[in-house]
Amino acid sequence: MSTVTNAIKGFATRAATRTLATLGDQMAKLYLAPPDPWPVYRAIRDRGPVYRSRMGYTAVSSHELCARVLRGPGFGVRDSAGRLTEEQMIPVGSVPSLLELDPPDHGKLRRLVAPAFRPKLINEYRPRIEETTGRLLDKIDGPFDLMSDFATPLPITVISELLGIPEDSRARFADYGKLAGQALDGQLTARQQVDLEKAIAALNDLFSELMAQRRVDPGNDVISVLVQAVDGDKITADELLSTCQLLLIAGFETTVNLIGNAVFHLGRNPAQWALLRERPELAAGAVEETLRYEPPVPITGRVSQTEVELAGERLPADTPVLTMLATANRDSSVYPEPDRFDITREGGPEHFAFSSGVHYCLGAQLARIEGEIALRALAERFPDLRPVGTPVLRPSASIRGFVRFPVEVGVRGSGVLRSS
Ligand code: HEM
C-alpha cells in the first residue's frame, strides 16, 4: 500500500507536476488526482505493458506483469542496498511495519501476526459485525451520508474490537485513523501534521496501556496474541506498536471505500442492484466484483533489486515500479468484458485488490466478510436506497473512494438505486 502520492511527492512541486501533466505525462496526471482516473489508467495501458514516466517511475498495467512484480523474484519494497525508498514509506510507527519489510524480516513478523487473522478466528467475528451493522442501520430513518453514517463507523468498530480497544478510547482511535488516512493522500496541512504527531503519541500510550493490561488478562484479540510474542522475545514492543498502527490504517481506510464504491457502482447499474435485492446471497459476489472493478487501493509499488527484464525492457536495479492494480483487474486478456460490472461474474484469476505475493492483504477475509454483511443488510433493509446529489470523491491517487455520499432510503417498493 505504498502511495502514489509518496511515490511522486519527492519528485517535484505541484507546479512542475502540472507542467509534466500538460506535456502528456500520465503519472503526473494521476498525481493531480483527477476525479475519474480511468482515462489516465487506460492511456498508460494503451502505451504498452511497461510505461516510463518522465518523473522517473515505471508503471506496469497488465495482469501478467503486475503478478511478476508483486510476486518477484527481483523486486521488493526495499532497494538493492536494503534501504526503504520514499515511495514505500507509510505514516506509521517508529520501526518498519510489515509493508516496509522484505523477506526474511517480513516473514518473521508476518508469522507472528498471522495467527490473529486465522480464518476460524475471523469467522467468529461475523455475529459481531452483523450486530454492529444492524445497530448502525437501525438509526437511519431518512436521508443519510453513506460514508460518515455507515461505511466509516462499521470498519472502525470492527478493527477496534479486533484490537480490543475499549469503548471510551474509540473516538480517539478513529481520529487518528482519519488523520493517518489524510497523510496517505499527502493532504496534511502543517497544523494537521502536528495533530497527527500528537495523535501517534496518544495512540502509543493507549497501546502501551493495553499491552500491560493484556499481559495480565489476555483475551482473544490481536494485542493479546502479539503480547505473547513480545514476552517470548520474538518481537519488540516497538514492532508491536507499528503493527497495531498499520492494522488501524490498513483495516480502516480501505474497507470504508469498498462499501462506498460498491454502493456507487450498484447505483450506476440498476439491474445489478435489482439482482442483489432479489438475491441478497449475491452480496459476496458484489464485494468481489467491486474489488475487481474499482479497488480501494488502485496502485502499489515495488523496487527492482537487481537488473530485470520486463516485457523485453531492461530495468536497472533500484528502479521504482508502480503496479497498476486497478488496470490489471480490467485486463481483457484474463477477464471477459472487463469494463462490465457483473456481480455474478465467475472464472478468471483472483483480482489484485488485495495485492499478491508475500504482502497479500492480511485482512482480506475480514474485509470480505464486512463488505458482504454491509451490502446484504443495505439491500435487505433499504431496497429503494438511492443517491441524492453528487457524491464527493476523495482527492487522492492512492485511495479510491468517496468523502461524502448522500443517499436516501426512499419508499419501500418504489424504485431502485440510481446514480444522480
Ligand atoms: C477492502 C479492504 C482492503 C483492501 C482493498 C486492502 C488492500 C491491501 C493491499 C493492496 C495490500 C498490499 C499492498 C502491497 O502489496 O504493497 C494490503 C496489505 C495489508 N492489509 Fe489490507 N486491505 C483491506 C483491508 C484490510 C483489513 C480489514 C486489514 C486488517 C484489519 C488489513 C490489513 C493489511 C495488512 C496488515 C497488510 C500488510 C501485509 C503484509 O505486508 O504482509 N487490510 N491490503
More confident residue, 89 or 51: 51
- Is the distance from CB of 369 to CB of 255 less than 8 angstroms? no
pLDDT of residue 128: 94
- Give percent of the chain above pLDDT 70: 91
Q: Which of 152, 361, 370 to mutate to test the pocket of ligand 1 (most atoms within 8 A of CB)?
A: 361
Q: Which of 85, 87, 254, 292 to mutate to test the pocket of ligand 1 (most atoms within 8 A of CB)?
A: 254
Task: Give me the chain's average pLDDT, please.
Answer: 88
Angle between helices 222-231 and 237-252 (to 10 degrees): 160
Position in ligand 1 atom list of the atom nearest CA 246: 35
Band the pLDDT of 418: cuts 50, 70, 90.
Answer: very low
Tens of pLDDT, residue by residue over 112-153, are 889 889 899 899 999 999 999 999 999 998 999 999 999 999
pLDDT of residue 85: 73
DSSP-derived 3-state class of residue 325: helix
In the chain, the amino acid numbered 355 is: S
Mean pLDDT of 415-419: 39
* Residue located nearest, by CA, to atom 30 of ligand 1: 251
Q: Is the CB–ligand 1 distance for residue 359 below 6 Å?
A: yes
Band the pLDDT of 168: cuts 50, 70, 90.
Answer: confident
Q: Is the CB–ligand 1 distance for residue 99 below 6 Å?
A: yes
Judged against a pLDDT cut of 90, whether residue 384 lies above it is answered with yes
- Is the distance from CB of 263 to CB of 272 less than 8 angstroms? no
pLDDT of residue 253: 81
Q: Is the CB–ligand 1 distance for residue 242 below 6 Å?
A: no
Can you read off the three cell numbers belonging to residue 164?
A: 480490543
pLDDT of residue 187: 60
Position in ligand 1 atom list of the atom nearest CA 356: 15
Judged against a pLDDT cut of 70, whether residue 373 lies above it is answered with yes
Band the pLDDT of 93: cuts 50, 70, 90.
Answer: low
Task: Please tell me the distance from the alpha carbon of residue 73 to that of residue 83, in angstroms, as a whole number.
Answer: 17
Band the pLDDT of 9: cuts 50, 70, 90.
Answer: very low
Q: Is the CB–ligand 1 distance for residue 302 below 6 Å?
A: no
Band the pLDDT of 188: cuts 50, 70, 90.
Answer: low
Mean pLDDT of 50-71: 95
Q: Is the CB–ligand 1 distance for residue 363 below 6 Å?
A: yes
* CATH superfamily to which 4-408 belongs: Cytochrome P450 (1.10.630.10)
Q: Is the CB–ligand 1 distance for residue 362 below 6 Å?
A: yes
Strands ordered across the beta sheet of 144-145: 144-145, 406-408, 386-387
- Closest Cα partner for 290 from 271, 311, 269? 269
- Closest Cα partner for 334 from 359, 357, 352, 313? 352
More confident residue, 271 or 188: 271
Q: CB-based contacts of 317: which residues, under 8 Å, 6+ apart?
A: 79, 80, 304, 305, 306, 307
Judged against a pLDDT cut of 50, whether residue 213 lies above it is answered with yes
DSSP-derived 3-state class of residue 339: coil
Task: Please tell me the distance from the alpha carbon of residue 178 to that of residue 155, in angstroms, as a whole number.
Answer: 12
Task: Please tell me the distance from the alpha carbon of residue 237 to that of residue 207, in angstroms, as a whole number.
Answer: 10
Domain boundaries, the chain: 4-408
pLDDT of residue 17: 85
- Max Cα distance, the chain (Å): 62
Task: Please tell me the distance from the alpha carbon of residue 324 to that of residue 221, in angstroms, as a whole number.
Answer: 34
pLDDT of residue 199: 78
Q: Fill in the DSSP letter of residue 150.
A: I
Q: How many Å lie between the centroid of ligand 1 and the Cα of residue 364?
A: 7
Judged against a pLDDT cut of 60, whether residue 322 lies above it is answered with yes
Cβ atoms < 10 Å from Cβ of 53 = 22
**CA distances (Å), 302 to each of 29, 38, 74, 357, in order?**
20, 22, 10, 12
Q: Fill in the DSSP letter of residue 335.
A: S
